[in-house]
Structure 1
Amino acid sequence: MKNFISTIILVILTIGIANAQYAFFPEQGSITYDKTVHVKNLMRRHIQTLKDGDFSKKYFEEMMSKVPETAVLTKKLNFNADAISVEPVEKDQPQMVSNLLRMGLLDYGAKLYQNFDKNESLLTMEMGGSQINIKDSLTNVKWKITNEYRNIAGYDCRRANGVTLDSVYVVAFYTDQIPTPGAPSTVHGLPGMILGLVVPEQHFNIYATKVEMTATTVDSNIFKKKADVYTRQQTKDRMKEIFGRWMTDKQFGLIMAAIFL
């Protein structure tokens, strides 16, 4: 009888450990994020990059009293062990926020696919009625992991400070309970999923609000429209040809960082 009871207990413990390991190391699922853009601060940053006498500078200054302090956008990330896909979730916004989104000032509504095993990044968005498709290797991020922790969407997350795109400073909070090294952005490379991301230069933060461990599809077919595909450098060079004549270097750099993030 003692041996029988011991066997039952061993089986129960084994099942419990197996279930705990599955919950602790999920191989696929989806995550919903809220991206909070500090609208007035971002517009002030853009105004500071504009030349004196620039018509758009006066236009933005006049808009400052009309725009909200913040705007909240939603994104959904699907993941498996090797890859992620991210896309915006459409929802009703105040008219002024909708106008700013159409102008590309708050967010470009980009779709992203990253394959960590293949070192591949695909990014697509629409600007001025044209589709922009970018295919390149994963961005380089230099991380420094700290001993600061925060709970996000029920997961204990550790803080890491990073630099990407040569000079853009980011703060990330990742959990090793979801081992896929992704984020709702092109930043990556931490030992777990990023559930919180702050980009001071772009005046936004993005935090997970819901994590679902369900079967999901990571979409790599994001280049829906027929359009040329460029690397990040080729995209930057083409943008410089088009906008460089009337943009300051600071303004151009701010916009390129927003696109590539």
Structure 2
Amino acid sequence: MKLQLLKLFLVCLCTSFSFSALAQADFQGKAYYESKTTAEMPDFGGRQISDEQKKRIEERMKSLFEKSYILSFNRSESIYKEEEKLAAPSSSGGRGFRGPGDLSAGPKYKNIKTNQVIVDQEFFGKQFLIKDSLPKLVWKMENETKQIGQYTCFKATAVKMVSGTDITSFRGPRRGGEDEDKSKEEETVEPREVTVTAWYTPQIPVNQGPDDYWGLPGLILEVSADKTTILCSKIVLNAKDDTEIKIPTKGKVVTQEEYTEIATKKMAELRESFSGRGPGGGGRR
């Protein structure tokens, strides 16, 4: 423990001279992240879909769960959004599997001073503007360090609740009896606790991080929660061109609780549709 505290002190001491200069400047930067999620292959259609169709679904799922993001930040604000890339041509003429990809989060704005988060979220053709208080995690400082690039990082852990509307928790119907299917579906909707592991560096003195994560004494460079890992691959500080942080403004204004209720209802409808028990689905005999 003493060694850990000494190392933290030395890192802070080595950077304290630059901190005083940064405090007088309009300190800003960009952090580039790679996000990867391990997700179960949903059993859409059971034996009714071909191996070729399953392969296309697997490729689509992989593209959904491996993404690149840019976090633009200053001392009090940040915006986290997916890096724009040219879409790969679709062999199915643009009519391939879409599935839960429509649930991908849009640009996410965080303001530490006002304790506010604003998310520009498109959900199955409808535009929402989610406005709420910043999600707060109770961080526990751990006695571990590691090097990420040129930065010395310190470990912190926390516990968070994961909503059933998270795309990584989405599951298609499973084969078996209706009671088994129903229990599986309900299990994925219920919120559950997961452990969050973050690595932050005091060498970049902002309380920011990727996605929902913030509140540590330095920029978060890596975070793992449940089946998702987000890792910083590049940092650009005080570039000549200003780091623009635009607050999202378009969409129907809702709170996170209201949006979760809307999304949960839609997810239930999707599960009913996939299982063939929804309107016009024919049902099981």
Provide TM-score, normalisation by structure 2: 0.63
Question: Is the CA contact 1:111–1:125 (under 8 Å) kept in the aligned structure 2?
Answer: yes
State how 1:1-261 maps to structure 2 within 5 Å.
19=18, 21-22=20-21, 28-38=27-37, 41-44=38-41, 47=42, 61=54, 63=56, 66=59, 72-92=66-86, 94-95=88-89, 103-105=99-101, 108-165=104-161, 167-201=193-227, 203-214=228-239, 216-223=242-249, 225=250, 227-247=251-271
Q: List runs of 5+ in structure 1 lacking aligned partners.
A: 1-16, 249-261
Separation in structure 2 between the aligned mates of residue 36 and residue 214 of structure 1, nearest angstrom: 24
Letter in 2 for 1:131: Q
- Paired AA for residue 22 in structure 1: A
CA contact (8 A) 1:100 1:106 kept: no
Of 59-68 and 78-87, deviating more is 59-68
TM-score (norm 1): 0.68
* CA offset digits 1:64-104 (Å, max 9, x no partner): 664686765322222222111122221235557x9999654
C-alpha distance in structure 2 between counterparts of 1:153 and 1:99, whole Å: 41
- In structure 2, distance between residues paired with 1:173 and 1:221: 27
Q: Quote the Cα distance in structure 2 between the aligned partners of 1:64 and 1:221.
A: 35
Q: CA deviation at 1:200?
A: 2.9
- Three-state SS of the structure 1 residue aligned to 2:39 is helix
Identity of aligned residues (%): 22
Q: CA separation in 1, counterparts of 2:96 and 2:45?
A: 22
**Structure-2 change in CA distance of 1:168 and 1:117 (3 Å):** same
- Please tell me the root mean square deviation across aligned C-alpha atoms, in Å: 3.8
Cα 1:169–1:100 shift into 2, 3 Å: farther
| Contact 1:28 1:213 survives alignment (8 Å) | yes
Unaligned ranges ≥5, structure 2 = 1-15, 163-192, 273-285
